[in-house]
Amino acid sequence: MACAQKLSELKYEFLGRGLSDQIPFHATENSVGTRKRVIQSLCSTSDHGCTVHSIYCDKHLAHPSLHTPERFYSLIGGALAKYLLKAVNPMADPIILMFDSALSAKQRNAFIKAVKPTLNLIGRAHHIMFKPVKEDVNGQIADYYAWSLFRSLEAKDDSWLKSLPHNHTTFDMFQRGHTRYW
């Protein structure tokens, strides 16, 4: 994937310049200059080969029955699996889902329990993996998209999101919600 290669090249450029404190690329921890360089590297090729799908929601619209992390991550996992069921045709076999390791074991189990039945319907081999996102180049790319989307939604600053390649779809899980529970 061209975008992963470009990000790897940037990493070694930074190492060569003594900027190891800016690696790994993690949007919330990187300087503004590093963020610009990361986004520049992702946009530097016309065929970057990167498609990003973001599922998000405003937690304030979540019904109180979904407030425990396990229930909430089960909901997210189920939505992701349903999306994959529709989008799987162009995907390679096996399907590999990588998630940040920030979830506790209980939260991971709830997530897997919600995702597995739908993934089994796809009829393709699949693997679910939890590891620190910032240790994987594709995780770093996903982190930049997620951070940029968050900035756009929370701070009304869409400049970062607009700077990224536009092979990006978003889905607001509570788009029809109107009751704020907390």
Q: Which domain holds residue 108?
A: 2-172
Domain total for the chain?
1
Q: Does 87 score more than 80 pLDDT? A: no
Name the band, by pLDDT with cuts 50, 70 and 90, for residue 52: confident
Residue 180: inside a domain: no
Provide the pLDDT for residue 69.
82
On whether residue 68 sits in a domain, the answer given is: yes
Threshold 0.85, pTM exceeds: no
Work out the average pLDDT over 43-70: 80
Residue 20 in any domain: the answer is: yes
- Is 182 among the domain residues? no
Asked if omega into 132 is within 30° of 0 (cis), the reply is no
Per the domain annotation, does 126 fall within a domain? yes
Within-domain flag for 179:
no
